[in-house]
A and B are shown apart, each in its own frame.
Chain A
Amino acid sequence: MGAEVSTAEAEEAHVHDDHHHELPFWKKYIFSTDHKIIGYQYGITALIFLFIGFYLMMVMRWSIAHPDKELPAVLAFFLNKSWLSDQGLVTGDLYNMFGAMHGTIMVFLGIVPLAFGAFGNFVTPLQIGAPDMAFPRLNMASYWAYYLGGILMLASFLLPSGAAEAGWTMYSPLATTAQLDEVNLWFTGQTFWLFGMVCLISSSLLGAVNFISTIINLRCRGMTWMRMPFFVWAMLVTGFLLLLAFPPLEVAAVMQLMDRLAGASFFIPTGLNFSGAGSVDAGLLDVAGGGSPLLFQHLFWFLAHPEVYVLILPAIAIVGEIIPNNIRRPVWGYKSMVYAVMVLGFLAFIVWAHHMYLTGMGNVVSTFFQATTVIISIPSVILLTCLFISLWGGSIRFTVPMLWALAFLPMFGFGGLTGLPLAFNLIDLHLHDTYYVIAHFHYIVAPGTIFGLFAGIYYWFPKATGRMMNNKLGHLHFWPSLIAMNGIFLPMFVQGMSGFHRRWYDGGVNYDEITSRILFEEGSFFANLFKDGRAIEMIDLNVFMTFFVWVLCIAQFPFIFNFFHSIFRGRKADGDNPWRATTLEWSAPNCPPHGNFVNEPIAYRGPYEYSVPGYKDDYTPQFERGNDGVILGEEDPPADAAKNAH
């Protein structure tokens, strides 16, 4: 596969551009090997998937809040009507299908591709001064494998069985035996899910090797390790996480495929006897048996915990770029952050069994995983603390990307902190699989990571398009989103502590003992306000949260409009460096040409030299030698020194 692109080749390509030897459209924009185009492809595809995942969640939240009310036409419009009950209600089957696919789509098709695929692809080579990724064709293959995986996942909704329905975790034996009543097992949602995952994982692996090679080999002159922007460090660690964590799940997916299609029993124990109440016929299941359901959980979580950091690190990294730019001073503790992210990457591999406390554990195993889980909180706290402390002494500009980045900090912090109670085995038994857990990881991923990603979109938009996104629409997007996110997820902590479990399609009407606990007495202020004086019960929070889901949905319209409008009609960016930033991507022309840079990029100093004493401007870019000929820092090479050339 693909050859390394040397600077010479890139320059040659650049010359071609100058001579107007344009590539044909399909080669330039469809099967492109340019990291920027691939980044856009990833970005647009991932955003579409984020909205699909959001739609699935709206149907689910409707069912949770109004299990006895017909699904509104605007949501039912996209549905196969036979999936709904005769009264137009969401059924348990439909809820499970959407639940499984919401998780899968958001994690594997939405956030990872947007964070790693889009931002990683677009920003990383620019920030290290490389003409492209190390393996451009591998990069293209990575996108198209992802695309194929996405198509398989979407196509599974069109099958007679519908899509997969065993939770995004796909625990065996439920996942292996689901939809067994279909005629052709190859064409069931469960099977498509597994094929889709094989594609997605392969895509991530191709991406991961590419990122690692690029960052190690293609840094420009002067770009020493400790001059790399934090974003690049995070991408390097993320690359290793993907490379080492994904293969076990790929193996697990293939093994589960064999269980479903080839009569193997990797994850199916002997003697399963179904009652006939589910989709499997009553009686003994006709399989060889002897497999272990626990093995699947281990393989799954060995991936899925590092995966959490794959979701988080790019977002922290984006925020880590935007904050110094908008406080006009360096990030505080750059080196601590670099070391913390490396420690985090390592520890991410040895905490996975804290997802499995419920399976029952002996003392040694439990001690080990509780200890590692608590220890991993330390580098996380360091990262966040550095970003918080950076604010001190800054001169804070509240630009739109900065708003998102700032909101990320407390939201992500809250999500991270509420992970603490879940780290301890015994108290986790009470909280596990309740809405407490849902709130915890959604605070990390939704108002956390997704806010970080929005920040990145607003921040790098001028580099990609040469135009700015509209400020007013940005505010109109940000503020309602911030309020709605909290309106959705904050009440979940309360519900979770009181015992609301996840995956109840009817919101918990069967568990009235837990769900009917009274929050506000009859005739109290809120009762009068919202329920005509009747007491407000715990389960009524469902309606409250679902209301904010609609708010969140509406809040995305300004963004969608802004995004497309600004591409064509946005205000022209004020030069190549509209944010007055310091990192190398801002030395490239807007809409960077093939090969990225007009002049050879050289890094003269660290990545965040803002408000350096003795300089007139409040920013001193990495790529500028210094206006009064002062050479800053002992590691600063003279412009013509070759010692740092790779």
Chain B
Amino acid sequence: MQLLGIINEMIGLPELASEHGSMVDHMLEVVHWLVAALLFGWTGFFVYCLVRFRKKRHPKADYHGVQGHASHHVEVAVVVIEAILLLGFALPLWAQRITDYPSGPDVVRVRAVGEQFKWTMHYPGPDNKFGLAKSDLISGANPLGIDWEDINAKDDFVYTELVLPVDRECIVTVTSKDVIHNLALHPMRMAQDAIPGSVADMWFRPVATGRWQTICGQLCGAGHSGMVGYLEVMAQKDFDAWYKDNVPSAKEDNPLKAAPEGDADGAS
């Protein structure tokens, strides 16, 4: 593995904290080996030709030039290597993302909603079901327009950072309130466009705890470069405690839940 990480290490990939991310890094490394091999091969040949066949040293050009089939072999080798990369790595890896799609009660679900210029996370609460969100209910007090009347919304809560437990499958559903954003989670080797009017999921399994910056990866306006968010991966115990603190209970004075009636006029 030492040798098989040399280019990544030299260039300096960001810290890795997701399960499938090691395969991403591995493939990045392998592809860059091919890039490097072709580049040095070509450049070597190129420089050799420039020196050996310069006019001074080789005043009479050869009409026929290269006669052998070496270039065909190289060409075929490149095709074969690319086919291996495609069929052996890229396609199975993506297929895995689709077929291994996590399900069941143990999966952590979050909705990440982008807006100019911040992220808001919507957690479904213990029932693991998101309440309805309607754009006409959006107001300062209810940034995601959650319909608190909805039965599934009773235990929902919102948070400004993406908090996840370690070693569990997480599905982050990404969408946007206004323009296209992108939630790029480099330690997870994952990114997903937040496209208004549609939702798209990304999933991964964090394997290390820590706190990292998230990046908005699509131009979203003048404040784009300041749209920093945070991703925090906690131990299961801490996550449970954090979750419990945030779930609005019946007697709770959660400000988001406090004035469901008053929101309606603020919105429109």
Contact = CB atoms under 8 A, between A and B. Distances in A.
A393 B39 contact: no
Contacts of B95: 363, 367
Nearest to A517: B12
Interface in B125-160: 134-136, 138, 145
B223 A371 contact: no
Contacts of A506: 225
A504 B224 contact: yes
Main secondary structure of the interface of B (DSSP, over half): mixed
Contact of B58 (A269, A366, A395, A503): A395
Nearest to A373: B86
B94 A367 contact: yes
A510 B89 CA distance: 35
Given A177-B179, A610-B61, A501 B11 contact: no
Interface stretch (A89-97, A107-115, A450-458, A584-592): A89-97
B249 interface: no
B266 to A, nearest CB: 10
Given A395-B61, A427-B31, A499-B186, A417 B78 contact: no
Interface string B181-196: 0101010011111011
B43 A497 contact: no
B66 A96 contact: no
A505 interface: yes
Contacts of A565: none
B198 A391 contact: no
A499 B42 contact: no
Interface string A268-283: 0111111101111001
B11 A612 contact: no
Nearest to A366: B94
Contact of B200 (A280, A360, A393): A360
A362 interface: yes
Interface in B44-81: 45-46, 49-50, 53-55, 58-66, 71, 74-75, 78-79
A433 B13 contact: no
Contacts of A271: 134-136, 196-197
B178 A272 contact: yes
B145 A427 contact: no
Contacts of A327: 53, 61
Contacts of B55: 395-398
A332 B49 CA distance: 14
Interface in A37-83: none
B268 interface: yes
Interface string B89-130: 111011101110000000000000001111000000000000
Interface in A596-646: 610-613, 618
Interface centre among A327, A413, A429, A505 (most CB of B within 10 A): A429
Contacts of B64: 393
A292 interface: yes
B65 A93 contact: no
A513 B115 CA distance: 22
Interface stretch (A228-236, A375-383, A480-488, A547-555): A375-383
A390 B8 CA distance: 34
A374 B58 contact: no
Contacts of B216: 501
Contacts of B61: 327-329, 393-395, 610-611, 618
B192 A358 contact: yes
Contact of B225 (A277, A397, A426, A510): A510
Contacts of B50: 391, 396, 406
Interface string B248-268: 000000000000000000011
Contacts, number: 317
Contact of A511 (B13, B42, B228): B228
B6 interface: no
A272 to B, nearest CB: 6
B90 A370 contact: yes
A534 interface: no
Nearest to B13: A497
Most B CB atoms within 10 A — which of A278, A427, A510?
A427
Interface in A270-316: 270-275, 277-280, 283-285, 289, 291-294
Contacts of B24: 426-427, 429-430
A409 B217 CA distance: 32
B219 A503 contact: yes
A514 interface: yes
A278 B222 contact: yes
Contact of A429 (B53, B78, B180, B190): B190
A392 B66 contact: yes
22 contacts: A173-B180, A174-B219, A270-B135, A273-B115, A277-B115, A278-B220, A284-B138, A328-B61, A358-B193, A377-B82, A378-B79, A381-B75, A381-B78, A392-B66, A393-B62, A395-B54, A410-B42, A426-B23, A426-B24, A504-B224, A506-B225, A514-B14
Given A96-B221, A273-B177, 17 more contacts: A166-B219, A275-B177, A275-B178, A283-B267, A332-B65, A360-B200, A378-B78, A394-B58, A396-B49, A396-B53, A398-B55, A420-B85, A421-B32, A430-B28, A433-B182, A503-B225, A513-B212
The 10 closest A-B pairs by CB, nearest first: A269-B197, A271-B135, A393-B62, A92-B222, A504-B225, A360-B200, A391-B49, A424-B90, A328-B61, A395-B61
Interface of A: 91-93, 96, 99, 166-167, 171, 173-174, 177-178, 269-275, 277-280, 283-285, 289, 291-294, 327-330, 332, 358-360, 362-363, 366-367, 370-371, 374, 377-378, 381-382, 384-385, 388-398, 406, 409-410, 413-414, 417-418, 420-421, 423-427, 429-430, 432-433, 493-494, 497-499, 501, 503-506, 508, 510-511, 513-514, 517, 538, 610-613, 618
